[in-house]
Amino acid sequence: MEVASLDSIVKKYKLKINLIKLDIEGSEIEVIKGSKQILKNNYTNLSVASYHLINDTKTCFQLEELLEEFGYKTKTCSTYETITYSHRSN
């Protein structure tokens, strides 16, 4: 299976991304790492299902830390499932 980062897809097709919504069964950290340039160079909003477990820890904790490193404000909410919302203001 061929895999490409969001950064490479955005660059190849000259896309403008203002919302990323993910529910990808535990791969959200890898996708965010592959979106570093998008996130650092844009004001992209995110909604990420972050209830998946990696090494017995919900991905929301690592996701919040990673996004905050990119200058994003994050909030994780748990109702029926855990969702991390994030944005970077001007």
Assess if residue 44 is contained within a domain: yes
Q: What angle do CA 41, 82, 17 make, to 5 degrees?
A: 25
The per-residue pLDDT for 54 is 84
Assess if residue 20 is contained within a domain: yes
Number of separate domains in the chain: 1
Give residue-wise pLDDT tens across range 1-41: 787 888 888 889 998 888 889 888 888 888 888 888 888 88
Asked if residue 90 has pLDDT above 70, the reply is: no
The model's pTM: 0.79
CATH number where 18 lies: 3.40.50.150
Q: What is the SS3 string spanning the chain? A: CCCCCHHHHHHHHCCCCCEEEECCCCCHHHHHHCCHHHHHHCCCEEEEECCCEECCEEHHHHHHHHHHHCCCEEEEEECCCEEEEEECCC
What domain range includes position 54? 6-87
Assess if residue 1 is contained within a domain: no
Identity at 26, one-letter amino acid code:
G
